């Protein structure tokens, strides 16, 4: 199929159904990079990942490798991990602590704020303005309560405008700390998924599948998690607009009315934490926070390689390239996308949504 994109979106994305080519067509993926990932704000990492001067961690914006750095003066920098000389990666480590990056190809050396410090055979560069040859920076960087975002677009909505209602979910997460701040100290659970990136997000806000896919672990853990996704669940799947969604279990936890049941524990097992929460927020507010728990809005809930488009997906995704549009998931009633702030029941939300607003 020859996809004439600019004029074809309305044919590919219809109420309650999307065409399978959205999951494997190279031209569509390239346009998604250009129109979504290189324009919007992308979650990069948390400032606690670079807590010390000279700390760095390798991240990415889509396929673009970037370095999240706390430079020698303590400023956070977001640098492209691409040498301005010949495009080599200047850093191949995942994380570390160093004041400079030396490109392994021809040994150009950069300060960790991006400035070019030196190059090999400097006599060949006489009269060159080094200040123009530093590492490029991600055009915009913003920090919301410790969460660092980057945007490749020099202009556009502010991060707070972009997050919109999803800010509430970040606030909810941070409010579970008596200091209102969190640190990432436990590392990450890395997932590598050989799938188009949209599958990840679709799965993350799909409250329909856990009772089946994850039933064995729910039974072993005896966690009552099953209740969140059962036929009688009152948890909801919510769209905040601008691609932000959440599965919001608060209605279920509020019905239970037990602090920290979301965490599989109880207040009497964590007396120090409860005391600090009460001191920080007052007993009523602290109790509500501890009942509600915290989770991340899914479009912020970034996997380290956020954009995937493996070519071999073609063989796995039905229908055939010129076949009919995918209609929800097998056996499910298709459903038109909820409007911004629309709410569907997490336990029973059919999966057919429009996928343009990602």
Question: How distant, in Å, are the alpha carbons of 27, 158, 241, 259 from that of 153?
Answer: 21, 11, 20, 42
CB of 107 to ligand FES, least distance (A): 6
136 CB-near residues (< 8 Å, 6+ apart): 79, 80, 82, 84, 114
Q: Which is nearer to ligand FES, 113 or 204 (CB)?
A: 113
**Residues 91-110 close enough to bind ligand FES by CB under 6 A:** 103, 105-108
**Interface with ligand FES, residue 199, by CB under 6 A:** no
- Among 62, 144, 67, 173, which Cα is nearest to 111's? 67
CB of 57 to ligand FES, least distance (A): 21
**Binding residue count for ligand FES, defined by CB under 6 A:** 9
- Kindly indicate which of the ranges 80-88, 185-193, 242-250, 334-342 contains the residues binding ligand FES, using the contact rule CB under 6 A: 80-88
**Interface with ligand FES, residue 122, by CB under 6 A:** no
**Interface with ligand FES, residue 136, by CB under 6 A:** no
**Interface with ligand FES, residue 285, by CB under 6 A:** no
CB of 108 to ligand FES, least distance (A): 4
Q: Which is nearer to ligand FES, 111 or 326 (CB)?
A: 111
| Number of C-beta neighbours around residue 272 at 10 A | 8
**Interface with ligand FES, residue 86, by CB under 6 A:** yes
**Interface with ligand FES, residue 341, by CB under 6 A:** no
Among 39, 85, 140, 145, binds ligand FES (CB under 6 A): 85
CB of 49 to ligand FES, least distance (A): 25
**Interface with ligand FES, residue 14, by CB under 6 A:** no
**Residues 26-65 close enough to bind ligand FES by CB under 6 A:** none
CB of 111 to ligand FES, least distance (A): 15
**Interface with ligand FES, residue 115, by CB under 6 A:** no
Q: List contacts with ligand FES (CB under 6 A).
A: 83, 85-86, 88, 103, 105-108
């Amino acid at each position: 199929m020859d996809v004439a994109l600019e004029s074809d979106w309305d044919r590919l994305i219809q109420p309650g159904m999307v065409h399978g080519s959205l999951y494997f067509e190279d031209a569509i993926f390239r346009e998604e990079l250009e129109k979504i990932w290189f324009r919007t704000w992308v979650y990069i990492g948390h400032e606690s990942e670079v807590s010390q001067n000279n700390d760095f961690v390798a991240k990415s914006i889509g396929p673009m490798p970037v370095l999240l750095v706390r430079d020698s003066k303590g400023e956070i920098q977001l640098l492209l991990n691409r040498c301005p000389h010949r495009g080599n990666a200047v850093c191949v480590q995942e994380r570390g602590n160093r004041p400079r990056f030396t490109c392994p190809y021809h040994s150009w050396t950069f300060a960790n704020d991006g400035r070019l410090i030196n190059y090999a055979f400097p006599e060949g560069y006489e009269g060159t303005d080094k200040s123009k040859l530093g590492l490029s920076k991600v055009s915009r960087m913003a920090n919301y309560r410790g969460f660092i975002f980057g945007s490749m677009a020099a202009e556009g909505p502010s991060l707070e405008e972009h997050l919109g209602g999803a800010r509430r979910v970040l606030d909810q997460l941070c409010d579970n700390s008596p200091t209102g701040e969190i640190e990432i100290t436990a590392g990450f659970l890395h997932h590598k998924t050989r799938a188009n990136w949209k599958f990840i997000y679709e799965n993350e806000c799909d409250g329909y599948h856990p009772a089946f896919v994850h039933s064995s672990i729910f039974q072993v853990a005896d966690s009552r998690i099953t209740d969140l996704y059962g036929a009688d669940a009152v948890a909801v799947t919510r769209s905040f607009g601008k691609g932000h969604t959440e599965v919001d279990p608060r209605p279920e936890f509020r019905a239970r009315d037990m602090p920290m049941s979301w965490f599989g524990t109880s207040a009497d097992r964590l007396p120090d934490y409860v005391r600090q929460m009460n001191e920080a927020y007052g007993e009523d507010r602290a109790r509500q926070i501890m009942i509600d728990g915290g989770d991340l809005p899914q479009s912020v809930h970034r996997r380290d390689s956020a954009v995937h488009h493996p070519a071999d997906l073609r063989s796995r995704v039905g229908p055939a390239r010129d076949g009919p549009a995918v209609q929800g998931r097998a056996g499910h009633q298709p459903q038109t996308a909820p409007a911004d702030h629309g709410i569907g029941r997490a336990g029973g939300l059919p999966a057919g949504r429009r996928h343009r607003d990602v």
